[in-house]
Amino acid sequence: MTRILYTLVLLLAAPFLLFSLLKNKPNKPVIGSRWKELFGYSPVLNSQSREVIWIHAVSVGETIAVTPFIKALKQQSPDLIIVLTTTTATGAKQAESLKDLVTHRYMPIDFSFTISNFVNRINPSKLIIVETELWPNTINMVSKSNIPIYILNARLSEKSFKNYQKVRKLFITIADNLTKVLCLHQDDAKRFSLLGVEENKIHITGSIKFDIKTKDSDIKSGEALRKTFGANRPIWVAASTHSGEEEKMLNVHKKILETIPEALLILIPRHPERFNLVKNLAKNKFTTNSRTSKNQSNSNIEVYVADTMGEMMTILASSDICVMGGSFLGSKVGGHNLLEPAALGIPTLIGPSYFNFNDITKQLSDVRATEVVHTEEELTEALLNLFNNPKELKEKGIAAHAIVEKNTGAIKKSLCHILG
């Protein structure tokens, strides 16, 4: 009965969901003619008796996070066919970088008939869901087809836990059909247990995001980009920013320039449809250039807007300090992952709202590799302090990289649980 009520609510919400997914937005990839996949009418997969594993990663962040796992999975089982689904078109765009390893499909809307259509077309032996994208009808239909379901990199913040408690009866129908929940940390495991997941299904494997590998090509392209700005300039990047945060970063940069006039701010908006808006915001106050601009960057540029996708590591590699977005908006977002800059040995600053990344932030904070700042004034002071103390800047970067190295191994543990 609970799942029937959920389906009725989803039926009412579906037109708005479809409108959001199919609406054309500037700089944002489109689903286009592949819209039928949202209803499970995906191209039939010709597996030729090879095993198929279905991995679902909702959008860009999850696709990036699961990439090292996919590479390890293919290395261990080269003949395996991996079908990677994403919900968003930006996730699909990111998945293009894995076209030699996976077959991409759009995730069907969570109706029983759409999931049944999809499963019949790809015939997977396992479903691996990245993080906590738990759709009741999907879980139910996949389980009814006797397909094991694994939650990889499972995390459950206190906020999400409280939300699931409100619909606990619905969550129990999900929990009963899960094969294994591979959790990031003990706190996540405890919350899943309190929601009704059986203890023997819960395992702590750590975060696969710690197994991030930096590419020499990213570092070299980052160094080359830095040279276009002026190799010796102090450079800070505000990464994965949301609406309302760019204004804060630009205010802070204005204060930074009063003390360090040669400093450069790089803005990386989280969502591509906001690229033009952010460029216009910056141009109103500063000499601005962007990644897609034909104008050559130089030492006179005060703000640089990274308006491309898939180049986060390159942009980070060109900077000295990273300020992580999604963390200066109260309880709306809950921060973003600090591990990419940490893997490059770059110290970070983060706002007070980072509930989705509590453990990672705490580990980095404990070794002073990141600092939590609450106001524009605190952020300005912290940036100036780091720029004026190059020895401390370097030490924090080394400490950040050491935390990443210390926590590697989650992919190997996860593969053991999934492949047996």
Q: What is the rounded distance in angstroms from the CA atom of residue 62 to the CA atom of residue 353? A: 20
List the structure tokens of 6: 């959920």
Q: Which position has the token pair 């969502």?
A: 271
Q: What is the rounded distance in angstroms from the CA atom of residue 116 to the CA atom of residue 111? A: 9
| Residue in 50, 46, 41 with CA at minimum distance from that of residue 111 | 41
CB 124 within 8 A of CB 102: no
Q: What is the rounded distance in angstroms from the CA atom of residue 167 to the CA atom of residue 150? A: 21
Q: Is 235 helix (H, G, I), strand (E, B) or coil?
A: strand
Does the active-site annotation cover 245? no
Per the residue annotation, which of 62, 245, 302, 340 is the catalytic one?
62
Q: What is the rounded distance in angstroms from the CA atom of residue 136 to the CA atom of residue 322? A: 38
Sorted by sequence, the CB contacts under 8 Å of residue 211 that are 6+ apart come out as 68, 69, 408, 409, 410, 411
Which residues on neighbouring strands pair with residue 321, listed in sequence order? 236
DSSP 72-116: HHHHH-TT-EEEEEESSHHHHHHHGGGTTT-EEEEPPPS-HHHHH
Sorted by sequence, the CB contacts under 8 Å of residue 214 that are 6+ apart come out as 313, 343, 344
Roughly what angle, to the nearest 10 degrees, separates helices 358-366 and 390-406? 130
Strand extents, DSSP E, 87-230: 103-106, 126-130, 149-154, 180-183, 202-204
Identify how many contiguous H helices and E strands the chain contains and give both numbers: 17, 14
Q: Phi, psi (5° rounding) for residue 350?
A: -140, 150
Q: What is the rounded distance in angstroms from the CA atom of residue 178 to the CA atom of residue 108? A: 19
| Residue in 94, 64, 95, 91 with CA at minimum distance from that of residue 82 | 95
List the structure tokens of 125: 């032996």
List the structure tokens of 355: 């509930």
Strand extents, DSSP E, 248-383: 264-269, 288-290, 303-305, 321-324, 348-350, 370-372
Active site members? 62
